[in-house]
Structure 1
């Protein structure tokens, strides 16, 4: 008798269904953009999926415990549900999604009329019972009045959070880890198990987002007089009311410095915890965590990270008596397509589009630009391709390396749009334009850009403005948004398409592979999209992509202190000569770690390897 694991392995092999799934993946990627946007290649234009055969195979793969096999099932099920030729095939795709506990995608499909409502009512008794059981197993009860349907990663994380004092979870950006943790945090306040919580986020933009989301979510919980703040005021530590403070690592130090007695946090959440390896700020973050631990060793700690291969690293220094939990990443909840756009030789307005999967490429088709992308720097390639692929849709992000580039690219999209949207100006876009004119400057570029649904987004702008841009982009009123590396730092701004040209952050800093996939993870928002498309431009240019497109895989978390301490002799020599070196001799990597180690109150946290 053949075992399930053996059958699943055979299904994705060359002898099995590998070639059929490969062509289905490319075909569905083209369909996700629309045949009025991309002209499919001859191989795909006449493709007729054998749905019964593919869905039968996918139903077996959906029961696998391997992420790669589950993602194939997700891709095929969504393709059937969205593009299947009849309701029977579309319902069959939705049933496979129930196997994957992806009920939010089924609900979205019903909302958009891809399938009829009340899927369970159309199933047989046996399948109805199974679907109901899966729904119950995926249900996360937040409190007496509210429950949500979670994916397998979320349901496992919820259970671990209720049990462990120190927990580390890693998952792709679209897995919903932060959303779940915020709900869990509020539920702990409702249960009266927490009076003071600290949420650490790496940027002011993310701090603002988390603060706003906590205020919104708290409407569903019974936590009277809850204070949520992001200003490091010592009054937040007075114990007079339940309190959640949301800080960067620098603000947390200011908060502790302002308090005569170090406040005891019951729960501390560290979002984007891989930033412990981020140079000087990584050292500051580690020092901040240690101050919290020192103030209350009995506190609970939650570390969140994307694409980490060693999430256990973050909790290896928990107290011996603390119960620990590691929640590894689960399967994706949306289908992400990594695409490559190349200019056809001698035809600057005509481009091919192919799907990159593992080490292979599959041609999708070709598309046309509205004009020649002339000029230096490649900005017009970004803007014109973003416009070509996103013109008939909402939710296109274009990644720019610098603030100035972001503004130029947004202006180019605005100019290319012309007056095609001849209807009345949306009231919210008009209000945003008026706000920019009266509160910033009448010549500020967003004053006119937003009137055509175009914007830009970077860290160095007023938080009130940035928040409104994010809200209008999520609602679809801003259709094109040009962003800088703020997105890499964890701002939860999901989209339908991301257009990228090169792997840099700023003027010369290389974008690490995990940063690229953190950015790419914004493509496709669970519950709002079925697909997320990452379009890479000019990938054959070694100046732009010196190491090619980064591979999608888990990456190690390495604390900055560990990187330096691993070269202990160099560090000791630097410390011995530090006084005589003067300001000119300061080493940017050695100095913060040396200062960290020489702090009089230094704990041994995280230095087991030293």
Structure 2
């Protein structure tokens, strides 16, 4: 029997004896299929989560619980076995694969992967989003076999998600190192970082295990501008690690060349733990109207709406808020945003009526709280771009794929599959729903070709500059020597240049050398004055578009840097932006793009400028300025807590000169537990959730 033909909606409409007969036939046919040609057919596996929903909501199916648990055991979905109603043999299986410390029962495919890893093998795993890949990391940590672990994650938002989970589960076993300034002790340690952060750490030591999430980003052909730094970071980590584990979805093959230095088992599985219903809306005449209709239905909540750009997310959320309210319980969040960010930000109104927004411009602590409220059902609809699809786990029941582009180009089948994979969540939404508003891309196999696994002679320049001497061929040595000569950089400078772009740095070199012939304005120590900032920015805009840094003109970028340094608080800086806004409403959050640029992009390019200035004027020293800019001219502990989900607008009220991260967290904890009037009840809950402080 093919389970493609089963009309599950019709089955669910039955009741009494009719329903019991339908379910009996399904169980009988599933049993036959398990002993047939393809016991791993995804449609067969879907029977288990679909029956889970039926049995939970239909009292007349109580007598089927034992047979259902037997089916869950036979398909390998051991996490669905109901120990209280299963027969003894099935209950023993479930008990044997349950990690009490984690509160998790594993399924068959998870156990198979764990066995490989615990045998010491390197593993690259390709599995669906609902597989439970992150749980495997926790299971490895729980064994006590690994003491120093590096985990490479694509976004800071995902760093914080991992940090919260790992500290909750392993607080007493591991030190979790996430921020660049964190001090590493002698005990068991987990290094959490983006590729840029781990690439720049010099305190990693020897590692027992390196984990790389979303490993498909190692493929340079995917045109990810961070691919070279990711490959360089992974190269550096693997050289000091005795084992590695790469994870990702929907990969068919991994291509290796260059002598096969890295040996691994590639495991590809279709094993999914949730079922998905797909609704084709391509032919409807008014897609916007239908979108609003679907997101207004409670049966679809919580619902993710995928769109192509931040502006589109803001616009649709705003339009939805004008037409309906899907909740009216988030007024305090909306009020907080209006007071602490700016009342002219369109997201303020969207949130008031239940619509969350998530994209790369949203401030991290606010984006984290958006997702938290979405996952708890307080904001039932979330408009998002690919930054959420790639970076954060959500508890979405429904995914509405409204657009088919990312950065003005059609997404491929791989990305489309990743977006679809966000529908449904084990333990919460056994049956996901996907609404398609456009033609899906043609299905093709996905091959990943990591640069780190390729022949070094064929690797790009911005990767080979990170190679150790023993790994460089004569051809590579000659290439690097020529780069050092043409750019006039030592190895450290060359690695910095690679992260910016070697062609860009060559142009910066020419521009700086020309400026120094006629002026010394680029020569300063400490903090630059307004005119010097203007000259620095002018150098940047000779090689980069000013829009990359969240400004519409060179003068505006200079003004924003100056205002950020001058503002006493981030709240004051944002409110000044709100008061003086002369741009379109949709341009409001360009100021957030500017703040992101201050963290990494601008300090990087200013650092290269400093190198060339120091060639002629060794007395120049940008260090204080660059360090201050990267943390928005605030104390480091404020920036670190913002990454951990506590907005600077709150922590600035509590910060004192001389504070450390620990002393500030202690003061915040005391404010939460004592119900300090410095925190509203809404803020109190926010801080408690972000820092895992029990609410009395």
Aligned ranges for residues 189-338 of structure 1 at < 5 Å? 191=144, 193-219=145-171, 222-223=172-173, 226-233=174-181, 235-236=183-184, 239-256=185-202, 263-277=205-219, 278-279=222-223, 280-294=225-239, 296=240, 298-310=241-253, 317=260, 324-338=264-278
Secondary structure of the residue that 1:492 maps to in structure 2? coil
- 1:68 corresponds in structure 2 to 42
Between 1:334-343 and 1:473-482, the stretch displaced more is: 334-343
Secondary structure of the residue that 1:270 maps to in structure 2? strand
- 2:427 corresponds in structure 1 to 527
Aligned ranges for residues 168-567 of structure 1 at < 5 Å? 168-185=124-141, 187-188=142-143, 191=144, 193-219=145-171, 222-223=172-173, 226-233=174-181, 235-236=183-184, 239-256=185-202, 263-277=205-219, 278-279=222-223, 280-294=225-239, 296=240, 298-310=241-253, 317=260, 324-343=264-283, 373=286, 380-381=288-289, 383-388=291-296, 390-418=297-325, 426=329, 429-506=330-407, 508-539=408-439, 548-551=440-443, 555-559=446-450
Match among 43, 51, 76 for residue 77 of structure 1: 51
- CA distance, structure 2, for counterparts of residue 410 and residue 97 of structure 1: 40
Match among 112, 115, 129 for residue 159 of structure 1: 115
Deviation at 1:312, TM superposition (A): 8.2
1:517-575 CA-to-partner distances (Å, cap 9, x unmatched) read 11111100001111111110143xxxxxxxx4444x76221235789x79x8xx7xxxx
1:402-427 CA-to-partner distances (Å, cap 9, x unmatched) read 11110111122222224x75xxx53x
Secondary structure of the residue that 2:197 maps to in structure 1? helix
Consecutive unaligned residues of structure 2, counting only runs of 5 or more, are 474-696
- CA distance, structure 1, for counterparts of residue 31 and residue 257 of structure 2: 36
Q: RCO greater where, 1 or 2, for CA within 8 Å and sep 6 or more?
A: 1
Deviation at 1:384, TM superposition (A): 1.3
Runs (4 or more) in structure 1 with deviation over 6 Å come to: 46-49
- CA distance, structure 2, for counterparts of residue 519 and residue 316 of structure 1: 35
- CA distance, structure 2, for counterparts of residue 467 and residue 150 of structure 1: 28
CA distance change for structure 1 residues 435 and 182 in 2, over 3 Å: closer, same or farther?
A: farther
TM-score (norm 2): 0.60
CA contact (8 A) 1:437 1:444 kept: yes
CA distance change for structure 1 residues 476 and 165 in 2, over 3 Å: closer, same or farther?
A: same
1:477-531 CA-to-partner distances (Å, cap 9, x unmatched) read 110000101133242123111111342112x133121111111111000011111
- Report which of the two has the higher share of helix: 2
- CA distance, structure 1, for counterparts of residue 265 and residue 467 of structure 2: 31
- CA distance, structure 2, for counterparts of residue 286 and residue 82 of structure 1: 47
CA contact (8 A) 1:339 1:534 kept: yes
Deviation at 1:181, TM superposition (A): 0.9
Secondary structure of the residue that 1:499 maps to in structure 2? strand
CA contact (8 A) 2:334 2:352 kept: yes
CA distance change for structure 1 residues 462 and 241 in 2, over 3 Å: closer, same or farther?
A: farther
CA contact (8 A) 2:359 2:387 kept: yes
1:312-354 CA-to-partner distances (Å, cap 9, x unmatched) read 859994567xxx544432521110122201455xxx5xxxxxx
Consecutive unaligned residues of structure 1, counting only runs of 5 or more, are 1-10, 13-17, 36-45, 108-116, 121-127, 349-372, 540-547, 572-591
- CA distance, structure 2, for counterparts of residue 146 and residue 76 of structure 1: 25
- Report which of the two has the higher share of strand: 1
